[in-house]
């Protein structure tokens, strides 16, 4: 893409009309980013990331097929002691907190009216939507009978179960997020009425997002309260596990936005709108402030949790050292680095710290759900094929994420053409007949 | 106007009292704690009687039509089988719903002690309460049974089971399901008969009866032979009580029993959070709408228009 | 199939019923041998050498707790039965029922809440608990087949002998 911009003066689609000829972009053109099919294919082939993804898919997709043909036993250790592996340990327990961004920035911008964060709102919403969507996709791989995914909704209700709550909330919240992100989609596809309709319900959707997120982020932690002896005491807390999970999802979601926006800025600058690029540094610092507050809170309640259950003696064991490593690298160090970064206005340091915090959070989730699970039995290393599938689905996540970012107005603002300004011109069949139309050009100038 | 006859009066009274009876039953079900059905059956496993003959395993295999075992049921080399670097002995699987293991605990001077185990059929089972499609049922006879037709295959029950009992047919692509002891509910228990393993045991290491009576029997055995038994009935209170209970001559932790279990149902661990749910649903909307109105302070609409541009 | 299974398992219980009718003749002399042979299904019958066991044990009460003249041995029994003069019949099956876990028997045991003896082993267990405890302690033969040979049905039940799993044989180190 960068090559296209440098060499051929490519301008990405950012409004309803093609600035070169003043005609409306067709859906196909929008899909192809305004390029000819040949040019589109060329830019695909030029991008080394695509090649890497292709290699992953070439290996991973057959493994996924193999999983559905042979059953879970073909790709997992089929352990009765470790019923959950990476699919849930990573796919559900890590993806969900990292997708808390949607409700956090929704609350900040829509509810508290901090319009400073507006340029990053759509990215946070999309990050949330895709995170949840892929958590469900991981679930579809992990469930023994994925075709029964709707059973807890429509067939048989286990209302007393925490997982019932998680299932319903993730499903509902996914719908809420689809609606929130659909605003950008309607804008891109050119249905302003639908966009307006969704926009009128923003506050309702945002509040629904807060409720659902509070509950299911916490509920994920509560899931492990069913396994009190199996999760190591240092990671377990009957009273507080849900608060730990909720609180850590706050900094996880915020850091995920910092991390994703960093990657976008580095690799997709051509797609970013000026509003996004110009404000990103100050937004990042703002997000870091929020994240460090959550980190400090998390650190305090973690200490309260250990004190409450009097687990200090465990710290002297090997597991205790592992725990302290997790807290040290994933919580204490980020608190210090964020503080330094914010004080010195060092966005680079903040960005690095965001990645570190995400790694720390993933370590925490994997520790609780997988690594320290059955701490007094034996430890199990995930099956190689299980790891391959996990990586493949994450690659799919990246692919879809990028596909949407290239097109929908997520990190750039869609330039709306006021209806009354557009002069209805009969569209000729062949593009080369009409070479210039002054009126739409004019409106664009006026509008910008 | 209709005169209320004497008979009619009795009818009304009867209806009224039955309504009271019904409502009091409802009250009983509305209790915060469930300690099992009053006439729940159970089995008392007296490990001092078990000789490790594995006849129970054979009976279970036959009763449930399970696949042929790898080794004959009279092959005692299975007691030497260890897994995961010698840390684990044999466990229940999709092919064996009950397993007998041999231990050589310190307390018995290295003399072998055999331990049979299977699903303990908890009074308030964690598998049941953690299942989001209600695939498990605790029958009034005490069995915890499973319905594969609604199971989605999330394996939460396996995570939740404090005794590591449920197994899963991972290798099945189309009909994977949980496999575990069902107290022979379909074939025996519901007809008032003891499970196959109990009937087959030559030593009556397994005593079948009402759970309440079994607890009395267990304590009486301990009282009469205080030197023979450890003064504890495993399963009487563990995780809120189980239908299958154990007596042992050596400390339970030396026989692979988890002695760190809580003495109230696993479900209780989630109650504080679940209680918080309706509060969030009730309070959050007004709370956050309030914050919203405060934050916007009346100028919200203008900003909305601006940012909307 | 199901009825067959039930039948076989029922057989295991019935198999252990003592044929005890003329244990004591009119002359009050103990029998030389007792045939425990209803064990027809999974195991063949046991020809119990009563004389041998009379010789090697210290007294009848070692096995028959409803003793003959030599006092109550078990101190738990003595708490109530020290003055007892013995029972009319020494037959095990008079107290130890062959199927102790039927609904009827369980109800019977629970009918009187004051009943003390609610924990009476069934007949099969009474035998095995008495015999085997001693046999293990005295290092007498204590494998199942040491006392009663297994029938074909028994081999099938245990997946043993000619019914042994194909792969199982080579791992087998115990006979």
Helix (H) or strand (E) holding B208: strand B206-210
Q: How far apart are CA C93 and CA C82, in angstroms?
A: 23
Q: Regarding predicted confidence, which is higher, C10 or A212? A: A212
Q: Do B73 and C160 touch (CB under 8 A)?
A: yes
Residue A5 lies in a domain: no
pLDDT band at C57 (very low <50, low <70, confident <90, very high): confident
Supply the mean pLDDT for chain C.
75
pLDDT for A3 equals 65
pLDDT band at C79 (very low <50, low <70, confident <90, very high): confident
Residue B52 lies in a domain: yes
pLDDT for B246 equals 97
Q: Do B221 and C119 touch (CB under 8 A)?
A: yes
List chains adjacent to chain A, taking adjacency as at least 3 C-beta pairs closer than 8 Å. B
Percent of chain A having pLDDT more than 90? 60
Average the pLDDT over each of A9-13, A291-295, B115-119, B286-290 and give the range with the smallest value. A9-13
Q: What is the CATH number of the domain that holds B73?
A: 3.30.70.20
Q: How distant is the Cα of A219 from the closest Cα of chain B, in angstroms?
A: 8
pLDDT band at C172 (very low <50, low <70, confident <90, very high): very low
Q: Do A71 and B173 touch (CB under 8 A)?
A: yes
Residue B187 lies in a domain: yes
Statement: residue B10 has pLDDT above 80:
no
**Most B CBs within 10 Å, among C2, C43, C116, C128, to test the B interface:** C128
* Bridge partners of residue A93, in order along the sequence: none
The dihedral built from the CA positions of residue A29, A35, A41 and A43, taken in this order, carries a sign that is negative
Question: Which of residues 215 through 254 in chain B touch C, CB cutoff 8 A?
Answer: 216-217, 220-221, 224-225
At residue A91, the 3 state secondary structure works out as: coil
pLDDT band at B176 (very low <50, low <70, confident <90, very high): very high
Average the pLDDT over each of A145-154, B7-16, C43-52 and give the range with the smallest value. B7-16
Residue A77 in contact with residue A370, Cβ under 8 Å? no
Q: Do C9 and B198 touch (CB under 8 A)?
A: no
Q: Do B171 and A71 touch (CB under 8 A)?
A: yes
pLDDT for A195 equals 87
Residues of B in contact with A224 (CB under 8 A): 159
Residue A248 in contact with residue A295, Cβ under 8 Å? no
How much of chain C is in helix, strand and coil states, percent to nearest 5? 40, 5, 50
pLDDT for A7 equals 66
Q: How distant is the Cα of B224 from the closest Cα of chain C, in angstroms?
A: 7
Percent of chain B having pLDDT more than 90? 71
Q: How far apart are CA A340 and CA A350, in angstroms?
A: 9
Question: Rg for chain A (alpha carbons), in Å?
Answer: 24
pLDDT for A395 equals 96
Supply the mean pLDDT for chain B.
86
List chains adjacent to chain B, taking adjacency as at least 3 C-beta pairs closer than 8 Å. A, C
Dihedral pair phi/psi, residue A412, rounded to 5°: -135, 165
pLDDT band at B132 (very low <50, low <70, confident <90, very high): very high
Statement: residue B144 has pLDDT above 80:
yes
How many domains does one find in chain A?
A: 1
Residue B202 lies in a domain: yes
Q: Regarding predicted confidence, which is higher, B119 or B82? A: B119
At residue B133, the 3 state secondary structure works out as: coil
How do residues B21-68 score in pLDDT, each as one tens digit?
A: 434 443 334 445 677 788 899 999 999 999 999 999 999 999 999 999
Q: How far apart are CA B181 and CA B94, in angstroms?
A: 10
How do residues B93-114 score in pLDDT, each as one tens digit?
A: 999 999 999 999 998 888 899 9
Looking only at the bridges linking them, the beta strands covering B144-146 and B113-117 are unpaired
At residue A389, the 3 state secondary structure works out as: helix
At residue B191, the 3 state secondary structure works out as: helix
Q: Do A80 and B164 touch (CB under 8 A)?
A: yes
Q: Do B200 and C128 touch (CB under 8 A)?
A: no
Q: Which residues of chain A have pLDDT under 50?
A: 426-448
Residue B290 lies in a domain: no
Q: What is the CATH number of the domain that holds A111?
A: 1.20.1630.10
Residue B184 lies in a domain: yes
Q: How far apart are CA B206 and CA A294, in angstroms?
A: 55
Residue B267 touches chain A, beta carbons under 8 Å: yes
Residue-number span of the structural domain to which B48 is assigned: 41-128+140-255
Helix (H) or strand (E) holding B244: strand B244-247
Q: Do A226 and B292 touch (CB under 8 A)?
A: no
pLDDT for A439 equals 41
Residues of A in contact with B168 (CB under 8 A): 78, 80, 83, 144
Residues of B in contact with A243 (CB under 8 A): none
Residue-number span of the structural domain to which A204 is assigned: 37-408
Mean pLDDT of B247-267: 94
Residues of C in contact with B70 (CB under 8 A): 165, 167-168, 171
Q: Do A155 and B277 touch (CB under 8 A)?
A: no
Residue B31 lies in a domain: no
Q: Do B204 and C125 touch (CB under 8 A)?
A: yes
Task: Pick the closest to residue B167 from B226, B112, B101, B97 (CA basis).
Answer: B97
Mean pLDDT of B261-289: 90
Q: How far apart are CA C49 and CA C56, in angstroms?
A: 11
CB count within 10 Å of CB C88 equals 7
Lookup result for tokens 């956050």 = B288
Residue B278 lies in a domain: no
Residue A134 in contact with residue A95, Cβ under 8 Å? yes
How many domains does one find in chain C?
A: 1
pLDDT for A1 equals 66
Task: State ipTM.
Answer: 0.85
How many domains does one find in chain B?
A: 1
Residue A286 lies in a domain: yes
Residue B216 touches chain A, beta carbons under 8 Å: no
Statement: residue C7 has pLDDT above 60:
no
């Amino acid at each position: 893409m960068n090559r296209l911009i440098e060499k051929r003066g490519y301008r990405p689609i950012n409004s309803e009309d093609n600035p070169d000829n003043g005609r409306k972009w067709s859906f196909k053109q929008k899909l192809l980013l305004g390029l000819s099919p040949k040019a589109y294919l060329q830019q695909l082939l030029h991008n080394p990331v695509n090649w890497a993804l292709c290699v992953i898919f070439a290996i991973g997709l057959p493994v996924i097929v193999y999983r559905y043909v042979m059953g879970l036993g073909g790709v997992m250790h089929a352990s009765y002691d470790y019923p959950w592996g990476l699919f849930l340990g990573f796919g559900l327990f890590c993806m969900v907190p990292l997708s808390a961004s949607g409700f956090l920035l929704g609350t900040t911008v829509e509810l508290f009216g901090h319009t400073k964060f507006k340029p990053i709102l759509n990215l946070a919403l999309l990050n949330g939507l895709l995170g949840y969507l892929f958590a469900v996709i991981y679930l579809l791989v992990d469930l023994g009978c994925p075709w029964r995914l709707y059973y807890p909704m429509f067939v048989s209700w286990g209302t007393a179960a925490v997982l019932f709550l998680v299932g319903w909330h993730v499903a509902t919240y996914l719908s809420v997020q689809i609606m929130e992100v659909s605003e950008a989609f309607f804008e891109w596809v050119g249905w302003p009425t639908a966009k307006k309709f969704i926009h009128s319900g923003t506050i309702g959707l945002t509040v629904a997002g807060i409720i659902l997120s509070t509950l299911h982020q916490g509920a994920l932690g509560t899931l492990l309260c069913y396994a009190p002896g199996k999760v190591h005491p240092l990671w377990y807390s009957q009273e507080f596990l849900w608060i730990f999970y909720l609180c850590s999802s706050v900094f996880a979601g915020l850091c995920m936005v910092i991390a994703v926006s960093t990657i976008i800025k580095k690799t997709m600058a051509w797609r970013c709108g000026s509003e996004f690029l110009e404000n990103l540094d100050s937004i990042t610092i703002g997000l870091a402030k929020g994240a460090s507050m959550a980190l400090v809170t998390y650190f305090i309640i973690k200490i309260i949790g250990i004190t409450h259950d009097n687990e200090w003696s465990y710290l002297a064991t090997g597991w205790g050292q592992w725990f302290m490593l997790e807290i040290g690298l994933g919580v204490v160090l980020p608190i210090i680095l964020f503080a330094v970064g914010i004080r010195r206005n060092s966005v680079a340091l903040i960005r690095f710290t965001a990645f570190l915090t995400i790694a720390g959070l993933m370590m925490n989730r994997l520790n609780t759900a997988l690594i320290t699970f059955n701490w007094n039995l034996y430890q199990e290393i995930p099956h190689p094929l299980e790891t391959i599938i996990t990586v493949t689905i994450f690659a799919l996540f990246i692919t879809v994420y990028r596909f949407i970012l290239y097109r929908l107005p997520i990190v750039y603002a869609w330039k709306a053409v006021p209806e009354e300004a557009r002069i209805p011109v009969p569209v000729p069949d062949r593009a080369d007949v009409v070479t210039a139309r002054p009126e739409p050009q004019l409106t664009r100038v006026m509008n910008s | 106007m209709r005169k209320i006859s004497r008979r009619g009066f009795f009818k009304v009274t009867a209806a009224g009292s039955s309504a009271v009876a019904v409502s009091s039953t409802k009250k009983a079900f509305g209790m915060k704690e469930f300690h099992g059905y009053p006439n729940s059956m159970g089995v008392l496993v007296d490990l001092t009687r078990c000789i490790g003959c594995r006849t129970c395993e054979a009976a279970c295999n036959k009763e449930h039509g399970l696949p042929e075992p790898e080794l004959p049921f009279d092959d005692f080399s299975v007691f030497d089988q260890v897994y995961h670097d010698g840390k684990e002995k044999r466990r229940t699987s999709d092919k064996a719903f009950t397993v007998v293991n041999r231990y050589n605990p310190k307390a018995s001077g290295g003399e072998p002690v055999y331990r049979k185990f299977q699903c303990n059929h908890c009074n308030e089972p964690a598998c049941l309460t953690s299942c989001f499609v209600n695939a498990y049922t605790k029958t009034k006879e005490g069995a915890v049974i499973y319905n594969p037709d609604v199971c989605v295959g999330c394996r939460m029950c396996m995570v939740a089971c404090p005794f590591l009992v449920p197994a899963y047919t991972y290798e099945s692509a189309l009909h994977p399901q949980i496999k575990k002891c069902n107290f022979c509910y379909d074939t025996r228990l519901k007809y008032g008969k003891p499970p196959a393993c109990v009937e087959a045991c030559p030593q009556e290491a397994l005593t079948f009866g009402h759970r309440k009576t079994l607890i009395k029997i267990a304590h009486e055995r301990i009282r009469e032979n205080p030197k023979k038994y450890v003064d504890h009935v495993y399963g009487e209170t563990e995780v809120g009580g189980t239908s299958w209970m154990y007596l042992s001559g050596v400390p339970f932790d030396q026989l692979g029993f988890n002695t760190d279990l809580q003495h109230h149902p696993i479900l209780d661990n989630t109650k504080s959070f679940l209680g918080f749910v309706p509060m969030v649903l009730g309070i959050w909307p007004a709370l956050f709408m309030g914050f919203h109105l405060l934050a916007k302070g009346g100028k919200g609409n203008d900003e909305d228009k601006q940012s909307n541009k | 199939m199901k009825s067959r299974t039930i039948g076989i398992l029922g057989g295991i219980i019935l198999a252990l019923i003592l044929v005890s009718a003329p244990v004591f003749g009119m002359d009050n002399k103990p029998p030389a041998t007792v045939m425990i042979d209803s064990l027809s299904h999974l195991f063949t019958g046991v020809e119990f050498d009563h004389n041998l066991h009379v010789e090697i044990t210290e007294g009848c009460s070692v096995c028959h707790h409803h003793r003959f003249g030599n006092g109550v041995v078990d101190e738990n029994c003595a708490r109530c039965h020290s003055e007892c003069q013995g029972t009319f019949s020494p037959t095990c099956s008079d107290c130890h029922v062959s199927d102790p876990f039927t609904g009827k028997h369980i109800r019977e045991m629970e009918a009187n809440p004051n009943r003390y003896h609610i924990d009476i082993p069934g007949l099969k267990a009474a035998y095995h608990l008495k015999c085997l405890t001693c046999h293990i302690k005295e290092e007498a033969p204590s494998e199942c087949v040491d006392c009663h040979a297994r029938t074909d049905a028994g081999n099938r039940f245990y997946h043993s002998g000619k019914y042994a799993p194909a792969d199982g044989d080579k791992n087998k180190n115990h006979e």
